[in-house]
Amino acid sequence: MRLADLPTPAAWVDLTALDHNTDVMARHRPGASLRPHAKAVKSTPLLAHVRNRAGHERFCCATLREAEGLVAAGLGTDLLVANETLDAPRLGRLAAAGRAGGGLLTIAVDSPETIQTAAAAARLGPVATLIDVNVGLPRCGCRPDQAGHLAELARGAGIEVRGVMGYEGHVVGNPDRAWRSEQVGKSMELLRVAHDAVGGEVISAGGTGTYDLHQWASEIQAGSYLLMDTHYGRLGLPFRQALFVEATVLSVNDDGYAVADAGLKAFGMDHGDPEIEGRGVFFCSDEHVSFTWDAPRRPRVGDRIRMLPAHIDPTVAYHEHLAVIDTADPDGGGQVIDTWPVDLRGW
């Protein structure tokens, strides 16, 4: 099958761009200095491809569903659940699977309650923790001055504390590099206070927008760099757009707009509308995108358009699989060479 034959809307990966992104990041963050984040791509075959190409053995994820899929796929050698959870039974099953497979499960904790959950799970298998610290993003994480006490509670419960985690999510998307760098420094000063009290070899932080601004963290949790989106595309990073959504023109209006078959149910919209190569997006509705055209560039019914997501993580989650295209192959640049399931969706 070729790209032009795929039923639309179709999410597809430019393998050449994906490999470029993987290689660029691996040169800057080789091996254990990068912990690729599964939440951005939600596909174990894609992550296995990245591991095999770049040698990254540590992964992180946002949900227990992602963790379960990574462990089942053999990608749980050193797995971090970078969110708090109170689901001790599921966490315990993951720990038991880790014991059977020789993997280490680490979870983020920021309260006595999440530490108790980790302790309950640790009865079934090895569980370690990172103390999650609020470094400026008003989400999960304890105050820096609480981190040492929480580490004592965890160790008192017999749980290994590997170190600290702090995500400067309020910083990563700002297009002003100087501002990002300054704010990363402020966030890491907060994390440094916590680490002084907690100890441990792991200092986990960062994301795609700040991957090269960290001088102190031991590992960076980047994931969007693999497929990219237009939101991160504004930052001038050395990564290429690698995921596109192919759509088909269904209607052309003489008033200067046309309609294609990919809308709100095909894209994460919290960072704005998707973009269309060579066109202007008018608006998105449930199953449609209305876009503008200027004469003599009038589209025709049945034409294909290529759309770029503004936020990669939720966009991927809307699709069941990703078609893989090797655009570098001169004889088959539009050939579908593989199909990767988006098998880590859900909760």
Q: pLDDT tens for residues 26-72? A: 999 999 999 999 999 999 999 999 999 999 999 999 999 999 999 99
Show the tokens assigned to 18: 């994906």
CATH code 3.20.20.10 region(s) in the chain? 20-226
Bridge-partner residues for 81, per DSSP? Answer: 61, 107
- What pLDDT score was predicted for residue 130? 98
Q: What CA–CA distance (Å, rounded) separates 89 from 64?
A: 11
Q: DSSP 3-state assignment of 20? A: helix
* CB within 8 Å of 165: residues ≥ 6 apart: 80, 82, 108, 130, 131, 132, 133, 202, 203, 204, 205
Q: What is residue 98's predicted lDDT score, i.e. its pLDDT?
A: 78
Q: Output the six-digit token pair for 219.
A: 């590992």
Buried b / exposed e along 6-28 (16+ C-beta atoms within 10 A)? bebbbbbbbbbbbbbbbebbbee
Residues 6+ away with beta carbon under 8 Å from 68:
90, 93, 94
pLDDT for 339 equals 98
**CATH superfamily of this structure's domain 3-10+239-341:** D-serine dehydratase-like domain (2.40.37.20)
Angle among Cα 199, 203, 204 to the nearest 5 degrees reads 145
Domain with CATH 2.40.37.20 in the chain: 3-10+239-341
Q: Quick check: pTM over 0.85?
A: yes
Query: What is the mean pLDDT of the segment spanning 327-343?
Result: 87
* pLDDT tens column, 178-210: 999 999 999 999 999 999 999 999 999 999 999
The CATH label, of 3.20.20.10, 3.90.550.10, 3.90.1150.10, 1.10.10.10, for the domain at 20-226 is 3.20.20.10
- Asked if residues 128 and 161 have their Cβ atoms less than 8 Å apart, the reply is yes
Q: Does residue 221 sit in helix, strand or coil?
A: coil
Q: What is the Cα 100 distance to its own chain's centre?
A: 27
Q: Could you tell me whether strands 257-260 and 289-292 are parallel, antiparallel, or unpaired per DSSP bridges?
A: antiparallel
